[in-house]
Structures are given as C-alpha cells and as structure tokens.
Chains A and B, each alone.
Chain A
Amino acid sequence: EPEVTQTPSHQVTQMGQEVILRCVPISNHLYFYWYRQILGQKVEFLVSFYNNEISEKSEIFDDQFSVERPDGSNFTLKIRSTKLEDSAMYFCAGYGTGSSGELFFGEGSRLTVL
C-alpha cells in the first residue's frame, strides 16, 4: 500500500518557537491536507492545498500557520510562534483525482509545546 511519510515523528519545543512539520505525499496525489488531533479529542481539519495554493482552511488555521510545497514533493506545515495549545498530533493526508475516494493519512507528527 502506498505511504504518506511524515517527519519528525515527535518534536518537543519551547513556547514561542517556530516549528516545521514535513510530509512526503504519495507521488500521484494532487490534493493535500493537514489535520490535527489534540490528545483524546477529535481529528480536526486545518487546511487543504491544491495546485500550489490553499483551497480551504478552518478557523484553527490562523496567521500563525502556513503551508508550502517548496520543491514539488515535500508538503510542510509551519507554526510561527507555538503556543501550549498547539500540542497535538498533526496528520498529513493526500488524495489524487483518480483514486476513487481513497484518502490516505500519514502516521502523524506529535508536537509537544512546553
């Protein structure tokens, strides 16, 4: 089965620091997503990305967040100045137009903000 790869698997950072989470989507995917899951809570949509631009974003995705696809393969989520409440598992997901509905998630990056 194809894989979405995320790094790092776990990052610990101090409040106020910048964090970049990386994702390598499946090669033929065209739509990319970031979701997050605060411990014990629902999986929440953050942002979707298509054709090198944001197509949709949630209320959570404020000015502290940004996404990029800098080199045509990696897909990154940046948090500029982390807050305690940003501690969560962040999942990358991808979908390709020919994939008949299959939306694959990566294993997640756990972010702990101290």
Chain B
Amino acid sequence: GEDVEQSLFLSVREGDSSVINCTYTDSSSTYLYWYKQEPGAGLQLLTYIFSNMDMKQDQRLTVLLNKKDKHLSLRIADTQTGDSAIYFCAERRAGNMLTFGGGTRLMVKP
C-alpha cells in the first residue's frame, strides 16, 4: 500500500525508554523524519536520517533504519513527562514532498 504506518498509542513510565515504530513504503525515499506535535501546536522537527544510514543518535534520541524491511524506529532514552506528545514519522518521496504516518500518541506516566 501507499500508507506510512504507525501504532496509535504508547504508554511508558517516566525514566523508561520509549520506542516508537514506523513502517514506510517507498524504497527510494531519500530522508525519513520524526516530528513531535504537542496539543494544539505545530510540527517540531526532532530528527531525521538519510536513507544510506542505519542509525543516528542525537542526545536522548536514537533513530534506527532498516531499509530492507522499510522499518524506522525512534528511541527516546530516559523519557520525561515533557515528552508526552504525538510523534509522526514521515518519508520524503520524489518531488521532496513528505508522506506522514498517522502519529503515535506517547503518554508518559510519572
């Protein structure tokens, strides 16, 4: 299919790691992105990875890319209550347009 798929919901305890998964569809995608959206707010670019990489680390965030399975994940270490938000993965296809997943709502319990 043409959809970028994400699970709807993830709940973790403060201090634990969160792993948000995404499957995408286009093997020729050049970049893959993670955006964070807090209630009523815009899309904040968290991190992105070029398709020839399989891992990228940025402070508490680790992105893993499995091109063979078209699987992308975002790991948040030491998850805090301020990390509660909706997380969108997106793939950049031809023409530089992004196709978004439906978003994963992360709830962090104190």
Binding site for B on A (CB under 8 A): 31, 33, 35, 41-45, 48, 55-56, 91, 93, 95, 101-108
Asked, given contacts A42-B102, A43-B88, A102-B48, whether A108 binds B95 with beta carbons under 8 Å apart, the answer is no
Complex contact A48–B97 (CB within 8 A): yes
Residues of B within 8 A of A106 (CB): 42
Apart from A35-B98, A48-B95, list 14 A-B contacts with CB within 8 A.
A31-B96, A42-B101, A43-B100, A45-B99, A48-B97, A101-B30, A101-B31, A101-B92, A102-B48, A103-B31, A103-B45, A103-B96, A105-B35, A105-B45
**Complexed CA–CA distance, A105 and B45 (Å):** 8
Q: Is the interface of B mostly helix, strand, loop or mixed?
A: strand
Binding site for A on B (CB under 8 A): 30-31, 33, 35, 41-45, 48, 50, 88, 90, 92, 95-103
